[in-house]
Amino acid sequence: MKQLSIFLFAIIFLAGCKSSEKINYSNEQEIFLNALKLFNEKKYDEAYSLLDIIALQYPASQYADDAQYYTAEINYAKDEYIIAAFQYNKLLRNYSASEYSKLAMYKVGLCYYQLSPPYDRDQDYTQKGISSFQEFLTLYPDDSLSLDANQKIQELRNKLAHSQYFTGEIYLKLSSPISALIYFDEVINNYPDTEYFERAFLAKIQTLYEIKHYEELKSLIPVYKNLFPKSGSIAQIDVIYNEIR
């Protein structure tokens, strides 16, 4: 296995390495092992420079995918998540058979997860994070990282549901109940696995009641009671239901 071979080479290399030694830039293995040493010492800028030499001078080298992966790792370690995602994707494009491909694919999702903003901001990176993790799970459903990928998808989906629900609440405050219903329906139809599912259902019922859409309420309330029989809002819902019948 290539990574194990590199690890063993690195042990031998580091054991005999002196800081004063100059690097032989005609030897891509020596360049990479020096870069790896600097990376492990968190001397990221120096490591980056050496990895860049491999990318530019030895693109067909057996260390080319290693250099590409650790270039992305440096960007990730420096919280440069947009660049890191680009670098991981570059590895996936240029070295699709690399043994780093699986981890790079997961790390793309992790970059977007880190970039995902609070629920009241634009959620483009949140969507990208979900798509990336889902792509990873499609290819590696039984991998040890699949549990974490699923958990992060759930977290990101909950944020998207929160965003839609929050927008609905904003429209209610702006006295635009019809617009608010669109966003509550978005949560109900697309995010039933999130904590905002019941909240959106209840908000829709209350909004329909306020705008006197009683016929729709008559069919919606039994659905709510069936879905959430232990809800603390059942008594309140029954009052509305008895009033409109």
* Per-residue pLDDT reduced to its tens digit, 97-148: 999 999 999 999 999 999 999 999 999 999 999 999 999 999 999 999 999 9
Q: Tokens 């650790």 appear where? A: 70
Helix (H) or strand (E) holding 89: helix 81-94
Contacts 24+ apart (CB under 8 A), 3-7: 3/99, 6/32, 6/33, 6/36, 6/66
List phi, psi (to 5°) of 48.
-60, -40
* Per-residue pLDDT reduced to its tens digit, 69-87: 999 999 999 999 999 999 9
Contacts 24+ apart (CB under 8 A), 190-195: 190/161, 191/157, 191/158, 191/160, 191/161, 191/164, 193/154, 193/157, 194/154, 194/157, 194/158, 194/161, 194/162, 195/158, 195/161
Distance CA 104, CA 234 (A): 48
What pLDDT was estimated at residue 26?
80
Cβ-in-10-Å burial (0-12, 13-18, 19+) of 24 comes to exposed
Q: Write the CB contacts of 199 (distance below 8 Å, at least 6 apart in sequence).
A: 165, 187
Give the N- to C-terminal CA distance of the chain in Å, as an integer.
71
What mean pLDDT do residues 202-231 have?
96
Q: Tokens 């690097």 appear where? A: 23
Taking the complete model, does pTM exceed 0.75, yes or no?
yes
Burial 116-130 (b: 16+ CB within 10 A, else e): beebeeebebbebbb
What pLDDT was estimated at residue 29?
94
Residue type for position 11? I
What mean pLDDT do residues 171-190 have?
98
Q: Do the beta carbons of residue 183 and residue 144 sit within 8 Å?
A: no
* Per-residue pLDDT reduced to its tens digit, 9-33: 444 444 444 443 577 878 899 999 9
What mean pLDDT do residues 209-214 have?
96
Residue type for position 99? E
Q: Which two tokens stand for residue 230?
A: 């232990």
What mean pLDDT do residues 206-225 have?
96
Helix (H) or strand (E) holding 55: helix 44-57
What pLDDT was estimated at residue 170?
98
Q: Do the beta carbons of residue 220 and residue 208 sit within 8 Å?
A: yes
Q: Do the beta carbons of residue 66 and residue 100 sit within 8 Å?
A: yes
What pLDDT was estimated at residue 12?
40
Distance CA 140, CA 189 (A): 28
Distance CA 119, CA 123 (A): 7
Distance CA 197, CA 203 (A): 10
- The domain made up of 1-115 is a member of CATH 3.30.460.10: no
Residue 3 banded pLDDT, cuts 50, 70, 90:
low
Residue 1 banded pLDDT, cuts 50, 70, 90:
low
Q: Tokens 């030897």 appear where? A: 27
Least confident interval from 6-10, 168-172, 176-180, 232-236: 6-10
Q: Which two tokens stand for residue 171?
A: 């429209």
